[in-house]
Amino acid sequence: MQPLDILVIAPHPDDAEISVGGTIAISLQQNLRVGVIELTSGEPTPHGSPEIRRLETENSTKILGLTWRDNLDLPNRSLQPTLEARRKLAEIFRTVRPQVILAPYWQDAHPDHVSASSLCDDARFWSKLSRSDMAGDPYWPPLLLHYFSIHLRIHPTPSIVMDISSQIETKMEAVAAYESQLITGRKQEFPTVIDDIRDRARYWGWSIGKAFGEPLINRESTGITTLSSLVR
């Protein structure tokens, strides 16, 4: 397949939309090729089922207009950065060959998110290995950025904040597609879970003088050749 520009690693269906749905929509608007790989089905949950989650994911994928999406079917609730999981994700990297990986932040209350972050680091390294029987040619994804989830009430300092103002409604529509997780059985009085997600985007937008934003962090230095992209 044609290489992706951006690949989002999501521990469960809905994590990509909640955390970087606006960044995905903006990138697609800019004619970038964007994919999502879920690590697990996200099930069991109180109001979901494998079929419900599959249909919700398909709906959200259509709303966003994603280039590519797949699921590794690793164990939900007990996700671990095992050698088998590392191999599966490394083969994805070698196949779709993304320029940018968006992965979960390494601090989180949800154990699956912490494991997913570690797994991304491990698979990124394995992806470049030669003399291997893994599928695909060796490949080192150049840039790994981390997005913040909603399970841990901390105040991280991002490296960059993406202005998603023009795509906030697309993000929120894609988020709302996961009705079994974010609406069914949840309180409907303000603030709802949906309100919280939108309000966080509003806060990060405020932090950069825009309407809405999404934070990302980079543990590595990023080289640039011009300051023009930093001029507002």
For residue 12, is pLDDT > 80?
A: yes
Give the single-character DSSP code of 75: P
Confidence category of residue 232, pLDDT binned at 50, 70, 90: low
HEC secondary structure over 150-183: CCCCCCCCCCEEEECHHHHHHHHHHHHCCHHHHC
| pLDDT (0 to 100) of residue 184 | 94
The burial class, CB within 10 Å (0-12 / 13-18 / 19+), for 87 is: middle
User: For residue range 144-172, what is the model confidence (pLDDT) as tens digits?
Assistant: 999 998 788 888 899 999 999 999 999 99
Domains of the chain: 6-221 (3.40.50.10320)
The rounded distance, in Å, linking the Cα atoms of 156 and 227 is 25
Is 70 exceeded by the pLDDT of residue 97?
yes
pLDDT higher than threshold 70 for residue 21: yes
pTM for this model (two decimals): 0.96
Give the model's pLDDT for residue 186: 94
